[in-house]
């Protein structure tokens, strides 16, 4: 046998469970998982993984890089964003291509290709955002034919020109069923949300409550009502639905109930909803934590962890949308002007490993399922991505089970000059990351070249092919 690389002596997490084994790599693919692979073999490079876990590369399927939003542009682009990802053991990301003023869906996809080309260190693709149903619906079939199988609609953001109404969601879900594609939905109830924001938007309240108004104007029912409505349209059309960044216990309950009666709905949550609660908005610089939807209550965290364990929550992503302190300062005391979003790619795996696996909320295998295998399957990338098995891409993250690193933005790859987890001591940063057989992080430092990441065409989406 000939292997370009053998990862030797680690505890390898495979779809069948963990096993002490070597991983043999030939070209860009995993060629063998077994013991003593270096014996009688022609081996190019041996990577010592003794005392470490060898995990499938993680997928972050909800990311916004270089996104024009809230009057500015998110500050992690495909250069810094994919370097941050690699350091966190993420080897595939999915961004959202959003059409601007009169753009077609194809134009939006091209705009995002231009952002990624020459800069991406890891593999990537895009969800295509439908922002003007009447204009965009006729293009969906040709986008599916060209390798895009996931679409997105926003139930809010009228001011950004992105909002879809019930008619658009209903019609899109009918087409998702026809094409075997999947609709991702940002579920918040826009009319009542706008009413609550109007009622609270007074100089007196802003003076008194500051960034806490961000949470006070988005009570849980704002998300719950919208999730319920989206589920209704999925149930009526049998179109596959995926709730992005679900932050509430109510959402998890409704998704679970809908799945039990056969509705093709799936849900993702984000790392921040699992470990932060809305008491952060009362802190000094609490406005930094504004993201959309915002972090909720400890009871919601608990329910979302439970959902990851039992399956009604299939995926953890980050909704990375980085804004620096200077960008966040645009709020100037008015919470409706805070650029909404947080850095997250670099800390996804460390947060879920430290607060999930080490705190015994998830097993190591369950974590790999929710961060790698399930997102790969749901997004139409399995088995190329999402598993350590013969024939899959050699995308791997090698982590130490216990060694912790203190989160310090000045030492990270992200362009953010702050972190929601600043000062937290986290295990699970990637010692070695491989992407298609190539070492891109070595001894916790990024060593791979910008522009080596490839676009990933897809043929399917969802769990019901
Ligand atoms: Zn998002």
* pLDDT tens, position by position, 6-49: 999 999 999 889 999 999 999 999 999 999 999 988 999 999 99
pLDDT tier at 464, thresholds 50, 70, 90: low
State the average pLDDT over residues 197-206: 97
- Give dist(CA 210, CA 399) in Å, integer: 40
Query: Is residue 377 pLDDT above 60, yes or no?
Result: yes
Enumerate residues with CB within 5 Å of ligand 1 (an ion): 319
What is the distance between the alpha carbons of residues 458 and 354, in angstroms, rounded to a whole number? Answer: 32
Kindly give the distance from the C-alpha atom of residue 319 to the centroid of ligand 1, in angstroms, as a whole number: 5
Q: Which segments within 276-389 are labelled E, that is strand?
A: 315-317
Q: Could you tell me the distance, in angstroms and rounded to a whole number, from the CA of residue 291 to the centre of ligand 1?
A: 9
Residue range 260-277, pLDDT digits in tens: 999 999 999 999 999 999
Interatomic CA distance for residues 78 and 87, integer angstroms:
14
Ligand 1 centre to CA of 114 (Å) is 20
Does pLDDT of 97 surpass 50? yes
- % of the chain exceeding 90 in pLDDT: 97
User: Looking at the predicted structure, is the pLDDT value of residue 227 above 50?
Assistant: yes
How do 404-406 and 425-427 pair as beta strands?
antiparallel
Helices then strands, counting H and E runs in the chain, come out as 16, 21
Residue 311 CA to ligand 1 center (angstroms) comes to 22
Entry pTM = 0.97
For position 447, what pLDDT does the model report?
Answer: 98
What pLDDT, on a 0 to 100 scale, did the predictor assign at position 1? 84
* Mean pLDDT score, 374-400: 98
Q: Is the pLDDT of residue 295 over 50?
A: yes
What percent of the chain shows pLDDT beyond 70? Answer: 100
Question: Ligand 1 center to residue 293 CA distance, Å?
Answer: 9
CB 57 within 8 A of CB 435: yes
Provide the strand spans (E) within 155-234: 182-186
Instruction: Summarize pLDDT for 305-353 with one digit per residue, the tens.
Output: 999 999 999 999 999 999 999 999 999 999 999 999 999 999 999 999 9
Residue 15 has what pLDDT? 83
Handedness of CA 34, 39, 41, 44 (dihedral sign): positive
Ligand 1 centroid to residue 364 C-alpha, Å: 27
Quote the pLDDT of residue 387: 97
Give the Å distance between the CA of 330 and the centre of ligand 1: 20
Q: Residue 301 Cα, ligand 1 centroid: separation in angstroms?
A: 19
For the chain, how are helix, strand and coil distributed in percent, rounded to 5? 35, 25, 40
**What gap in Å lies between CA 306 and CA 283, rounded to an integer?**
28
Task: Identify the band that residue 465 occupies on the pLDDT scale cut at 50, 70 and 90.
Answer: very low
Average pLDDT, the chain: 97
Q: How far is CA 387 from CA 60, 184, 380, 397, in A?
A: 15, 24, 13, 11
Q: How far apart are CA 283 and CA 305, in angstroms?
A: 25
pLDDT reported for residue 463: 85
Cα 432 to middle of ligand 1, angstroms: 28
Looking at residue 214, its pLDDT comes to 97
């Amino acid at each position: 046998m000939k292997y370009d690389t053998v990862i030797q002596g680690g505890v390898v997490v495979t779809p069948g469970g963990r096993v002490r084994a070597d991983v043999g790599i030939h070209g860009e693919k995993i060629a063998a998982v077994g013991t003593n692979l270096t014996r009688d073999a022609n081996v190019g490079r041996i990577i010592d993984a003794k005392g470490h876990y060898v995990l499938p590369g993680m997928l972050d399927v909800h990311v916004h890089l270089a996104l024009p939003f809230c009057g500015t542009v998110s500050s992690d682009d495909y250069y810094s964003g994919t370097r941050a990802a690699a350091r966190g053991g993420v080897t595939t990301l999915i961004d959202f291509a959003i059409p601007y003023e009169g753009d077609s869906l194809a134009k939006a996809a091209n705009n995002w290709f231009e952002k990624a080309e020459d800069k991406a260190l890891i593999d990537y693709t895009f969800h295509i955002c439908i922002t003007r149903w009447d204009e965009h619906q006729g293009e969906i079939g040709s986008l599916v034919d060209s390798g895009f199988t996931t679409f997105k609609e926003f139930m809010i953001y009228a001011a950004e020109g992105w909002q879809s109404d019930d008619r658009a969601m209903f019609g899109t879900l009918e087409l998702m069923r026809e094409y075997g594609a999947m609709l991702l939905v940002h579920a918040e109830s826009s009319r009542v949300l706008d009413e609550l924001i109007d009622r609270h938007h007074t100089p007196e309240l802003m003076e008194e409550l500051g960034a806490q108004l961000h949470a006070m104007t988005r009570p849980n029912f704002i998300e719950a009502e919208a999730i319920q409505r989206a589920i209704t349209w999925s149930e009526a059309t049998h179109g596959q639905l995926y709730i992005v960044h679900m932050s509430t216990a109510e959402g998890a309950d409704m998704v679970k109930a809908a799945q039990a009666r056969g509705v093709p709905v799936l849900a993702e949550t984000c790392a921040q909803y699992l470990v932060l609660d809305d008491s952060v908005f009362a802190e000094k610089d609490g406005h930094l934590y504004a993201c959309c939807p915002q972090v909720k209550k400890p009871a919601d965290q608990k329910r979302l962890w439970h959902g990851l364990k039992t399956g009604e929550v299939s995926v953890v992503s980050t909704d990375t949308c980085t804004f620096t302190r200077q960008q966040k300062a645009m709020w100037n005391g008015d919470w409706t002007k805070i650029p909404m979003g947080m850095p997250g790619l670099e800390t996804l795996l460390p947060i879920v490993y430290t607060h999930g696996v080490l705190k015994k909320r998830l097993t190591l295998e369950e974590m790999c399922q929710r961060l790698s295998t399930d997102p790969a399957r749901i997004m139409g990338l399995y088995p190329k991505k999402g598993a350590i098995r013969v024939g899959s891409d050699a995308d791997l993250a090698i982590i130490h089970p216990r060694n912790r690193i203190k989160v310090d933005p000045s030492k990270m790859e992200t362009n953010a000059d702050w972190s929601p987890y600043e000062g937290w001591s986290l295990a699970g940063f990637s010692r070695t990351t491989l992407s298609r057989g190539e070492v891109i992080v070595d001894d916790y430092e990024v060593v791979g070249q910008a522009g080596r990441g490839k676009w990933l065409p897809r043929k399917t989406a969802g769990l019901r092919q």
